[in-house]
Structure formats: C-alpha cells, structure tokens
Amino acid sequence: MNTAIVIDTSREVPDKWYSLYNIYPLGYVIEDSTGQKHVERTQIQSVRTPELVELVCQDRKSNLLAPSIKDFVELYTYLSENYDSIISLHSSNITPAVFENAIVAKKLVSEIDIDVIDSHTFGASSGLFVEELAKFIMEAKNINEIRKEAISLNKHISSIILSKNDQLNTIGLRKGSWHTAFTSSFRPYVLYQELNGRWETIKRGRNINSFVNEIIKRVEIVNQAKEIKTVYITHHGTLSKNVKKIERVISNSNVVETNPSLITHYLLGENYIDFAFL
C-alpha cells in the first residue's frame, strides 16, 4: 500500500519516524495573552513543539487551538498527489474537536481514499501506537487488516502517568480553546494507570520516591510475566531526574524518549512523567 499517515501532534512521535514511515503531522496553534498566534507546524514533516511548550510555561493565559478543517483539507489534498491512500490517526476521546475536523475534511476531499482511525491512546502511548501501526501499514494488504491491528494496539498498550493534575480522568479536551492544567505546588501528585481507555487513580501524595518505586514495581511485575518489547517515555520539569531509575528496569527493551507535546503539557502541567509500554 502506498499510504501516507496523518497525525495531529498530540501523538508524541520522534521526528525521525516522519520520513521513515511517511508520517505527516498537523500542528496546533497557541494564542498567547496578547492575542498573537504561534503556529506549531512550520512546514511539512516539521514541528516546533518544544519552544511552544516553554511559551505556555511562561504564559498561563495562553489558549490552545486545534488544527482546522481547512488545515486537514489542505494536507489531504497535498498528499493526494503522491499517495494512493491516507490513514489519519486521531482521538475522539482526548481531542474530539480534531477527530471531528478530520471526519469532515475526509468528506470534502475526493481525490484520494482516506480512512480516519480512532485511538484512545494519549501522550507517550500515542507515540507508541503510531509507530507500531505505521510499521504494520507498510506490510498491510488492505484497510481491514489495519483496523484490526489498531484495535489490538488499543487493547495491549499500557500507560502510567505521574502528574499534579488531579482531573486527568475527566478533563478531556473540548471544542474551541483550552487552558493549561493548574499545577499549584500545594497539590499532591497523582499516579494514574490507563485501563480500557479510561484513566484510573492508583495513589496520591507528595513523596516522589514512593511514586517512582510504585512505577518500577508495576513495570517489574509485567516484565516478569512477559518481556516488554518497546517503551515510550515523555517527561518534563523537575521529575526528569527520576526517569533514569525507571529506565534501568527496562534496560533490555527498546526505549524511545519523545519531546513533550502541547496537548500533554496542557493536560498534565509542568512536572510529569508519562510512561507507556507494549
């Protein structure tokens, strides 16, 4: 299949995968407190996420705007010149406005076959989902095979998040614009685990070492039952120094570190660890 993959940049994918797997990202727009807009994507297969994450850290009143229907139509039309089909990967759960815009744009572009695939994965787990599905697409014979693999990946990717945002299970991203998660130093950390498309709270508190040990314990149990093949890690802020402790547990696995996405930052705030594995 001569297929292009379209993602929005809530999927945390290392830049090197773009050209390798024919992945084309659609970026978000930051509107700062002065009303000025900063576009995440500057050109095809190139995004400027890290500097915009820092902008959001400094400007708490900034808003996040989703890729528009027009953005999707333009990219789909551009790709129709060189590809036979497009797989567009988004989340109706995490980024519903983006998913809906992709669906509408699909109906407006007739020059190419487009299939919009839904995934509940978020943050590091979304990058893992994209990479694994992209590998499968390169060998797949038809869209039904791809859909079955996407369903399987949604079931088998595991994810753990440590953050000060105590509303991860309900906050979501709604239509329009969104504000940065409130992360007061007085709030406790929360350890979440993703189960069947929903985020469940494992524990709350302020002792970072106990949280890291809890993650390590859970990963060790899984690794003893079956070998962990691939790990994606995203981290930001003061918790970054704790990531090395976790990485030692999965030293035999393929470990991929990605830059924090704007979506992840808006939902999790400044200090977090986002850990996913398959």
pLDDT value of position 186: 76
Place of tokens 């105590």: 166
* Farthest CA pair distance, the chain: 55
Mean pLDDT, rounded, for 119-136: 93
Q: Chain-centre distance of CA 101, in angstroms?
A: 18
**Looking at the predicted structure, is the pLDDT value of residue 113 above 70?**
yes
Q: Which domains does the chain have, with CATH numbers?
A: 3-156 (3.40.50.10170), 158-277 (3.30.1180.10)
More confident residue, 91 or 105: 105
pLDDT digits (tens, 9 = 90+) for 144-176: 999 999 999 988 999 999 988 877 765 454 444
* Cβ 259 vs Cβ 235: under 8 Å: no
Q: Is residue 43 within a helix (H) or strand (E), and if so which, with residue range? A: strand 41-43
pLDDT score of 136: 96
More confidently predicted of 120 and 186? 120
Residues whose CB falls within 8 Å of the CB of residue 246, separated by 6 or more in sequence, listed in order: 212, 215, 216, 219, 233, 273, 275
Report the candidate in 2, 31, 13 with the shortest Cα–Cα distance to residue 266.
Answer: 31
**Mapping DSSP to helix (H, G, I), strand (E, B) and coil, where does residue 278 land?**
coil
Highest mean pLDDT among 10-14, 135-139, 258-262: 135-139
What is the pLDDT, as a whole number, of residue 110?
A: 93
User: What whole-number percentage of the chain has pLDDT above 90?
Assistant: 44
What tokens appear for 239 in the block?
A: 């918790």
pLDDT for 183 equals: 58
Mean residue pLDDT of the chain comes to 87
Residue type, 65: L
C-alpha 20: how far from chain center: 19
- pTM of the predicted structure, to 2 decimals: 0.89
pLDDT attached to residue 112: 96
What per-residue confidence (pLDDT) applies to 176?
44
Q: Looking at the chain, list the stretches that DSSP marks H as alpha helix, in order from N- to C-terminal side.
A: 16-20, 49-58, 69-79, 96-108, 124-139, 143-156, 208-225, 243-249, 262-268
Residue type, 103: I
> Over 70: is that where the pLDDT of 95 sits?
yes
